Chains A and B, each alone.
Chain A
Amino acid sequence: MRALEDLVALFARLPGIGKKSAARIAFHLLKADGQYAALLAERIAGLKDRVRFCSQCGAYTEEDPCPVCSSPARDHSLMCVVEQPQDVLTLEASHEYHGLYHVLGALISPLDGIGPDALRLDKLLERVARLGVSEVVLATNPTVEGDTTALYVKKVLEGSGARVTRLATGIPVGGDLEYADRLTLARSFRGRTRL
């Protein structure tokens, strides 16, 4: 059965899905009513069209600018710099942060041939100046590459007038936050240090 085998192979390419789980999902869809499968297919097909990057902060969004960038309730003098768009979702899920975001899109890693040009740094400078940001919080993970990037961003922001601080810990992987993760993040935001 080609159709079934192809689908199983496609599912098995998803992160965290092995061959067994892939087969189980495929059989489940085969048994489920047709409407569910159709809805799922439509949502998957439309995902890339509907979800884009915010032209301002670089986070995933369906409207541009994103709800965070366009919300008057957010603190526009505070900007948190993260590596990936999904980091924004993680921090939002923690409800600990009320400023704006800026997604770099990558970390500086000479070993992988990634230099500063690959990061959204010009846009960061432009936003910090235009919005009159007074504090930039660097939330890159405390790895060698995360540190390199944080130090580099700090250097780039010299003369911008913004204070540059660093989160004590990095951002937990994945948007699903445990209670302990939330507590750590809250402490990390309160205990951010001047770089």
Chain B
Amino acid sequence: MAFNRIELRNFRNLEDGAVNTGASSIFLVGENGQGKSNFLDALYTLSYGSSFRGGQDAEAARLGEGSWALEGQSYDPEEGLGGPRAGLFSVRWENGLKTIRENGKAVSDRKRLVENNPSVIFCHDDMEFARGEPERRRFFFDQTAGLVSAGYIDLLRSYRRTLKARNAALKDRMISVLEVLDLQLASYGTALRKERALVVAFFDEIFAPRYEAVSLLGRRIGVQYKPSWKPDEDDDAVVARLAAARERELAMGTTMSGPHRDRYSFVDEHGDFSLRASTGQLRLLALTLRIAQAEHYSAMSGREPVLLLDDVLLELDPDKRRRFMDNLPKGEQSFFTFLPGEPYGDYRAADTLVYWTDHGRFTHT
């Protein structure tokens, strides 16, 4: 879906009011700190229900304000604004509560937003996926899977809830309950491991050729999934493993194996590539992960996501910049942020909307 209009109230440093976004690409040009990234965050929040920077909902309120609200009119560009899939989505935070609405009706689950307004963000923090923090990589691949499967989101939630309950039971030494929670953790966990393995196998096929095309490294860099429970351990084997670790886990008060400890790595024939890669290679790797995430979404769903690109061209040399743009998949709509000195005119299409961004205000140029 594409956004035709975004309405803002009390959101970060952005001016209250509506911004017309009815174009296939929108460029936000301005100095740092003027609100370009905050606008992308508004779009991201209308996709996922929360900020791409993480943090509390309260932090998104303009200084001194106790509430904020976003509204997005979204539509399928092929159908136009009057199409059957067009809709009005809003995310509102007040009195410490966040409410999501679709065409005025309250939506109880953020899954609905992702389903309707899928987006892929390219931003500086993506470097964390490349550098190798395991938790960040799990986040990335969970997001990739969740974009195309609401069932995956349900499975992940059930696993996490069981994990929390199990950790609480370990701390309270509820031994008889642990025996039951082991069964549940094994059941959700092995299902999750299977899904993750499938996603990575498919993702790797998309990612590896793209990374080669962008980096011209001359060898294949692939994605490897290393589950905490071995691939051949079935539910019974996992239950036995958990029972065997009981004393240690009771002492630690936490669950020490399972999908929350899964790892992903980027490998060539010599092993872990990200340990040896240069900063430039890692930056390209992070960008290519997002390219592949967008392509994975399109391949699985038959639709295109909205692309949000936050200052990503700035740190690339002209050759890499061109190769990145050549490999960028088509989004149903793309939002770019640029500094005034960048040659954004080169990337402009006939219907591109260019906004000058200054003190949270967007002026059409």
Question: Which A positions have Cβ atoms within 8 angstroms of B?
Answer: 108-111, 113, 115-116, 144-145, 147-148, 151-152, 155
Contact = CB atoms under 8 A, between A and B. Distances in A.
Given A110-B177, A147-B184, A151-B184, A115 B165 contact: no
Interface of B: 158, 161-162, 164-166, 168-169, 172, 174, 176-177, 179-181, 183-184
A155 B180 CA distance: 8
A151 B184 CA distance: 9
A106 to B, nearest CB: 13
B176 A116 contact: yes
A116 B176 CA distance: 9
A113 B174 CA distance: 10
Contacts of B168: 110-111, 113
Contacts of B172: 110, 113, 115
B260 to A, nearest CB: 15
Contacts of A144: 158, 161-162, 165, 184
Given A110-B168, A110-B169, A152 B177 contact: yes
Contacts of B164: 111
A74 B166 CA distance: 39
A153 B179 CA distance: 12
A144 B159 CA distance: 9
B180 A148 contact: yes
Q: Which of B162, B172, B181, B184 has most A Cβ within 10 Å?
A: B181
Contacts of B162: 144, 148
Nearest to A145: B165
Contact of A110 (B158, B166, B179, B183): B166
A151 B165 CA distance: 14
A111 B165 contact: yes
Given A111-B168, A145-B165, A148-B184, A155 B174 contact: no
B243 to A, nearest CB: 14
A84 to B, nearest CB: 20
A148 B168 CA distance: 14
A151 B166 CA distance: 14
A72 B7 CA distance: 65
A81 to B, nearest CB: 15
Nearest to A113: B172
